[in-house]
Chains A and B, each alone.
Chain A
Amino acid sequence: MSSYLCHDFKTPRTDTSKRLPESFKAVPVLFYLALLVGTYFMTMDWMAYKRAQTVKAQADTTREEHEKASSKMRAQKEILDAETKKAEAVAKWMEGARNLQPISVAIARAVPPEVTLSNLTLERSDQVPSNLALSVNINGGTAAEVAMIEASLARLQYRSYSPQQSKNGSVIEYRSTLVRQE
């Protein structure tokens, strides 16, 4: 509306704008409503953000705990594997380190007193240390003494492979490879 005084009420005024439609009264209401809804959604978003942050932090902590436990388990397994390897190596060595004294004694005891042994040799195989090359000279013996020796070795869980006997006068030379039977 113009600032000057108007005394002419009959002529339509040209310098005044038209009244806004009635529905436009809703604009400020809608504006405030939109502000309220916006505030609500932003508050919800903020809360969801905080919640997600907490969940993430918890999940990260849990993951770290699990990973720590997993690496501990892996380290423990590595220790077990290393120990097992050592044990296997020792066991492999021990397999080829069985006592020979019982074999020597068993052979000596297997023959009767009238029969003598002039030479008894036991040698380990380089390739398979648990295998033994046996060589024994039996003075005044027969095949029966050889059988007795083999029987006494069998009692010690040794089996003769490719046994050979040769007689030279009264001496029987007996050779064989002793293989441990499990």
Chain B
Amino acid sequence: MNPKQLACVVLMIIIGLITYFGQIGHKKVVSMKRSAAQAESDATMAEGGRQSAEILTARTKAETEELRRFLAAWTPHIDRAQTEQEVGSAIEVSLRERGITLVRSRKSEVRTSRASKLIPKIVLTTLEVEDEYAKVMAWMGDIEKRLPLARVTACRITGGSGARLLRLDISLETPLIDLGESSGPAKQKG
């Protein structure tokens, strides 16, 4: 091989290398451009997702506002009756304040509720009180006001031992509501 041929070969090698690396570089550029286009498309899709999430959240917020306001209004009452002692104490105070002197019987028990996770326990209170009509009715109104979540399941009003006396047999179910159940944001929201 003479020097001219050698020079040609070297030149061809140089040209080949330039072409090879040029092609590799070009492929990389094409791939990067494709990735950029894909990333842009992903970003557009993510923007759409964000918009729909915002719309959905705003709609849920608007639709449930009344219910959430209702819960916020009841949260202080729920917080006030969280244990059997708190319920018992409310009844005790009410009886004392309303001047009910004769309490024939009073029973209280905590029952586990399986109906709802939110209401894991219910305090079942049974009372037999006897006094004047006005006092008994005032007490009944007071206890329903003091324990607004309490559900009077049965109430029987009959004549008392005296002429002016009235006897009231009442059964109350007070739920011990656990607002912290599952996520527990209700208390914070207010």
> 4 tightest A-B contacts by CB?
A59-B39, A66-B46, A87-B71, A73-B53
Interface size class of B (residues with CB under 8 A): 35 or more
Q: Is B127 an interface residue (CB 8 A)?
A: no
Chain B nearest CB from A20 CB (Å) reads 10
Q: Is A143 an interface residue (CB 8 A)?
A: no
16 residue pairs bridging A and B, Cβ less than 8 Å apart: A41-B22, A60-B39, A66-B49, A77-B57, A86-B186, A89-B116, A90-B78, A90-B177, A91-B67, A97-B152, A100-B140, A100-B155, A108-B133, A117-B157, A119-B156, A123-B153
List which B70-97 residues lie within 8 A (CB) of chain A: 70-71, 74, 78
Q: Is B164 an interface residue (CB 8 A)?
A: no
Q: Which of A44-52, A157-165, A167-175 contacts B (4 or more CB under 8 A)?
A: A44-52
Q: Is B110 an interface residue (CB 8 A)?
A: no
Residues of B with C-beta under 8 A to A129: 151, 153
Q: Are A59 and B49 in touch, CB under 8 angstroms?
A: no
Main SS class of interface, B: helix
Chain B contact residues, CB within 8 Å of chain A? 11, 15, 18, 22, 25-26, 28-29, 32-33, 35-36, 39-40, 42-43, 46-47, 49-50, 53-54, 56-57, 60-61, 64, 67-68, 70-71, 74, 78, 116, 118-119, 133, 137, 140-141, 144-145, 148-159, 175, 177, 179, 181-183, 185-186, 189
Instruction: Other than A66-B49, A82-B185, give 14 A-B pairs with Cβ distance below 8 A.
Output: A41-B26, A48-B33, A52-B36, A70-B53, A83-B68, A83-B186, A89-B119, A90-B70, A91-B70, A100-B155, A104-B140, A122-B152, A123-B154, A124-B154
Bound state CA distance, A76 and B61, in angstroms?
A: 9
Q: Are A80 and B57 in touch, CB under 8 angstroms?
A: yes
Residues of B with C-beta under 8 A to A94: 74, 149
Q: Which residue of B lies closest to A82 (CB)?
A: B183
List which A93-140 residues lie within 8 A (CB) of chain B: 93-94, 96-97, 99-102, 104-105, 108, 117-124, 129
Q: Which residue of B lies closest to A107 (CB)?
A: B157
Main SS class of interface, A: helix
Chain B nearest CB from A73 CB (Å) reads 4
Q: Are A81 and B149 in touch, CB under 8 angstroms?
A: no
Q: Are A101 and B140 in touch, CB under 8 angstroms?
A: yes
CB-contact partner of B29 in A52, A56, A120, A121, under 8 A: A52
Q: Are A52 and B150 in touch, CB under 8 angstroms?
A: no
A62-B70 contact given A48-B33, A122-B154, CB 8 Å threshold: no
Q: Which residue of B lies closest to A60 (CB)?
A: B39
